[in-house]
Structure 1
Amino acid sequence: MSSPRDALTPDSLAMLQVIADTGSFAAAARSLGLVPSALTYRVRQMEDALDVLLFDRRSRQAQPTEAGMELLREGARLLQDIDSLAHRVRRVATGWEPQLTIVTDGVLARGPLFDLVEAFYAIAPPTRLKLREGILNGTLEPLTNGRADLAIGVAVNASNVAGIQLQDLGDLAFILAVAPHHPLAQEVEPISDATLLQHRAIAVADSGLRDTTSVGLLDGQQVLTVDSMAAKIEAQVRGLGYGFLPQGMVRAYEQAGKLVVRQVVRPARSLRVHYAWTTSGHASPGRALQWWLEKLSSPTTRAALLENHQDC
């Protein structure tokens, strides 16, 4: 008796599909150019290997049993996967990566990011894209541990990380923004740290696994910590606290009357962010990564990712 692995070949799975489509062994044999006895023998070999009955032979029609139906469903999926794999392998031989994982910091504008995704798909690459979001160290860590190929919006120091290449994305200016009904909206400007200390701050948690980084918080103040920039803005719009946000991110909310910008005594804070990539030990990036790096080399693209926030 052959093993299930020997019996479940692409040819045998395709043969079962022909039997199910034609409705009889005789019709399937004619379609496949086989004599009926040869076809019946091959089916019996599969049934013996699996120790199941695949077709009900009590009528003149070849009716799949429940086990046969399951094998037909999964077999069709496997055949499609094989075809897809063969297609990807042929395309990868031309220099395209099978998958490109990109991690982006939550401070980036979503619209320009998905403009890039749309433009990438427009060239019909064989590469599958996987997008992830991180905050602070959580943007860099997937790159250093091999779970990402490109990180956009890296705000922590990565200049000394082996195997990582780094380029400037630009500077983010952070400003204080609060809901119109928040007490700080009525305070005399510029607002001192002593006044800020009396109110709850909204902070985004560092999504890194090893390190935690806090930016702009005062010692001893009450803090509501959330896990994304979207949640931070929601909390601030609701008046649950105050927070510093990238200037471009605040603009639409300010125009809609959902947030107001307030001046503070402390010096304006600007954060230099980068994009970084790894070639996973290869001499040069694959074609998908090359495409993204070429787009990121454009000052217009970099500025859009930092400034063109439109969600509100």
Structure 2
Amino acid sequence: MSVAFDRCRQLSHSLGAINFRSFPSAGVIVLGNLSLDQLRVLVAIADTGSFSAAGRDLRRVQSAISQSVATLEAIQGVALFDRSGHKPQLTAVGRVLVDQARMVLASAARFESVAAGTRNGLEPELALAIDPLVPTAPLIDSLSALSDTFPHLPVTFSTEGLGGSLRRLRSGSTALAICLLLPDIPDDIAAYPLLRIAMQPVVGSEHPLASLGRPATRGDLESHVQLVLSDPVDPGGPAYGVAGARLWRFVDLGRRLDFLLAGFGWCRMPGHLVSAHVAQGRLVGLDIENDPTPREGLTIYAAHRRDRALGPAGRWLLDRLRQRLSSP
């Protein structure tokens, strides 16, 4: 057994049953038998390369640094430093625990930041839900700006199947949704139009409908598979734009596009996602007789529950999205 570890055992015995949680007035923040200050000292030594340099960095005498490390070693029952050489070197377990200490300190800093933000009126968390039809680029731009403006705000984000964003709003698990609201805006939802998404009926270039040569009637479409976006929780719920009995249901646009390109059926897709495929001849646009889809496109809304006002960060993001995306 090393001399360092013997010292740890001796110090542990001399400390006896001391519990650092007995001294709240000393300003020591503890996690079980650990204090954040001990972890700061450990990280400072690793960063500066020596006990003396860590003392200078933390503005403490070297003996206080050594005592903090010895206490930490004694409590944990491990040797963090090999003291056999000219200057102490981290042991193998010491190197691992330094990494753990960094994560704990970062988590504690986030904890304090969330608490401070809440004291100042900021919501403790902002939960977002996004429909699959929402364009990605402007959303990423707005979320990046949100992170810059509220760097310590925890943000949770989920992409939902059709109908999922509204369901999460109503359950209270989401504060702000970017979504379709069909056929109308529900009375319990406050909604703000952001943009319109043009929906293009398309089919693979080798599909029989691609060579129809005239507007497709409902009878033409009924005999072919239609690839539809569906609510995974309620697949038998309201359906919009369905023109046939042979339905293949999808939750995300990417997988549906794969099947579309493979020639398995037809569907309406956001124009910005298929324009390049149409230009390259991989997809063919369909003209549908009496197509019920609005020619001006489907409206994407930012929405929240009327009985749950957005916090400062949620309002900021809503304003940013409206400025960035809103149609005149």
Q: CA, structure 1 residues 187+12, in 2 after alignment: closer, same or farther (shift >3 Å)?
A: same
Q: Aligned partner of 2:301: which letter?
A: H
User: Equivalents in 1 of 2:105, 2:44: separation in Å?
Assistant: 13
The separation in 2 between residues aligned to 1:39 and 1:250, in whole angstroms, is 63
SS in structure 1 of the partner of residue 240 of structure 2: coil
CA distance in 2, matches of 1:99, 1:126: 10
How far the C-alpha of 1:208 sits from its partner, in A, is 3.9
- Contact 1:102/1:150 (8 A) holds in 2: yes
Helix, strand or coil at the partner of 2:202: strand
* Cross-structure match for 2:266: 242
Which residue in the other structure is 2:10 paired with? none
With normalisation by structure 2, the TM-score equals 0.73
Given the superposition, is the C-alpha separation of residues 290 and 20 from structure 1 closer, same or farther in structure 2, using an over 3 Å criterion?
Answer: closer
User: Which position in structure 2 is the counterpart of 1:10?
Assistant: 36
Q: Is the 8 A contact 2:206 2:263 kept in 1?
A: yes
Aligned length: 297
Amino acid paired to 1:290: R
CA deviation vs aligned residue, 1:47-77 (integer Å, no higher than 9, x gap): 3322333333444532333333332221122
**Counterpart-to-counterpart distance in 2, 1:261 and 1:46:** 69
Per-residue deviation, 1:243: 0.9
Amino acid at match of 1:302: S
Deviations 1:85-104 (A, max 9, x none): 43444445444445423222
Unpaired stretches in structure 2, ≥5 consecutive residues: 1-16, 20-29
Conserved? CA contact 1:99–1:128, under 8 Å: yes
Q: Go from structure 1 to structure 2 and tell me whether the alpha carbon gap of 1:166 and 1:261 turns closer, same or farther (over 3 Å shift).
A: same
Say whether the 8 Å CA contact 2:228–2:267 is kept in structure 1. yes
Q: Percent identity?
A: 25
Name the SS of the counterpart of 2:242 in structure 1. coil
The 8 Å contact of residues 104 and 133 in structure 1, kept in 2 or not, is answered as yes
Cα 1:40/1:209, change in 2 over 3 Å: farther
User: Is it true that 1:135 corresponds to 2:126 in the alignment?
Assistant: no
Is 1:159 matched up with 2:183?
no
Alignment of 1:172-183 (within 5 A): 174-183=199-208
Q: What RMSD, in angstroms, separates the aligned Cα atoms of the two structures?
A: 3.6
Contact 1:2 1:49 (8 Å CA) reproduced: no
**Structure 1 gaps, min length 5:** 305-312
Partner of 2:249: 225
- The separation in 1 between residues aligned to 2:306 and 2:312, in whole angstroms, is 11
Residue of structure 1 in register with 2:100 after alignment: 74
More deviation in 189-198 or 111-120? 111-120
Give yes or no for the alignment of 1:117 onto 2:143: yes
1:1-312 to structure 2, matched below 5 A, reads: 1-2=17-18, 5=31, 7-20=33-46, 33-34=60-61, 36=63, 40-121=66-147, 123=149, 125-156=151-182, 159-161=186-188, 164-169=189-194, 174-208=199-233, 212-218=237-243, 220-221=245-246, 223-247=247-271, 249-270=273-294, 271=298, 273-278=300-305, 281=308, 284-298=309-323, 301-303=325-327
Cα displacement string for residues 170-191 of structure 1 (whole angstroms, at most 9, x for unaligned residues): 6656442112222101114222
**Conserved in 1, the CA contact under 8 Å of 2:221 and 2:244?**
no
Report the Cα distance in structure 2 between the residues aligned to 1:199 and 1:87, rounded to whole angstroms: 56
In structure 2, the CA distance between the partners of 1:256 and 1:35, relative to structure 1 (3 Å rule), is closer
CA–CA separation in structure 2 for the residues paired with 1:40 and 1:128: 37
**In 2, Cα distance between equivalents of 1:21 and 1:251:** 53
Contact 2:225 2:244 in 1 (8 A): no
Q: CA deviation at 1:200?
A: 1.8
Q: 1:123-156: per-residue Cα shift (whole Å, max 9, x none)? A: 4654344432223211212222233221112334
Tell me if structure 1 keeps the 8 A contact 2:260–2:266. yes
Q: Work out the CA distance in 2 between the residues paired with 1:47 and 1:103.
A: 46
